[in-house]
Each structure stands twice: as structure tokens, then as C-alpha cells.
Amino acid sequence: MSEFLGKPAKVHTPIEFATPLTPDEQKTSLEFFRVLNFLLQFAPTDPSETALVARVATIGIGAGKPFDPDVLTPQMRGAFEQGMRDAWALIAASVAPSRAASAAPAITDVAIIGGGFAGVTAARELSMRGRSSVLLEARDRLGGRTHTMEHDGHALELGGT
């Protein structure tokens, strides 16, 4: 593109990717937060999460921030470790055993992140083509930014389409 436009090519700083953690390390190692900080620099903050991002920044979690578990006080280290245990316990408790066993085939062709319009459409299209998929959505509803809400007896469209 630069050659076509007759401009010099931009120089890009190479990215030093974080070393992936094993599934067990993701659940127990404080290195998880170093990897999280690395990944957050590639995920813009949704306006609805601004307060949450500011809150976790006070404990060293944030886009591109350095995170060194070795400098944590014993009390902070213990709090982080307990928080990880608590989070994984909540995740385990939220997935009913019968649902977990039947939620997806043993091997899934595609994992779709996000139940917005594109994610739901992708799941439908894959199904129509004989492919299996699992749709992962953080909210308690599908639709992403598209959301209809009842207000004073009227349907109110809150965005998206």
C-alpha cells in the first residue's frame, strides 16, 4: 500500500508475545495476570466497563501494564490466590453437571466468542452446513449491543440494528 501511495512504509515495533500458560497454570499461577495485562492491550474497553477497568487498575491489572507477582506483599499475594480459587469455584458451580455434559459435543468444529448478531448468525450458518459449534456469551442473553427493553408499556430499541 505504501508503495502504491508513494509514501514510506511505516515501521512497526515487533510484539513480544506472552508465553501461554497451561490450563492448570491459568487457574493457579499469578502469571495469569501478566498474560491478562498483555492481552488487554488488544481489547478496547467497552464503555459499560469503564468503572470496572478503573477499579482493577488499582491492583495492577490493566492494558499493557507490567505485573510482577514477586513484588506483591504476602497479604496481596494471598488475596490474589484466594480470588482465583473463588472465581474458579463460582465458575464450576455455575455449570450444572447435566448441562456441562450435554452442552457441546466432545469435539466441536468451531468456538464462537460472543452472542451478538454476528456470533448467532455464524452459529446458524455453521449448523446449516453440518458443522458443530459452541457459542460463548458472557451476558445472560444473546443479542450483543442489540437489545429491546420494555419502558412504559412500549418496546424500546437500545442499539445495534
Whether the model clears a pTM of 0.75, i.e. scores above it, the answer is: no
Average pLDDT over residues 109-136: 88
Contacts with 150 (C-beta within 8 Å, 6 or more apart), sequence order:
156
For the residues of 83-129, what is the DSSP string, one character each? HHHHHHHHHHHHS-HHHHHHSS-SS-SEEEE--SHHHHHHHHHHHHT
> Domain locations in the chain?
1-94, 102-161
Residue 92 has a pLDDT of 80
Average pLDDT over residues 103-121: 80
pLDDT digits (tens, 9 = 90+) for 75-94: 999 999 999 999 888 888 87
Whether residue 124 is predicted with pLDDT greater than 60 in this model: the reply is: yes
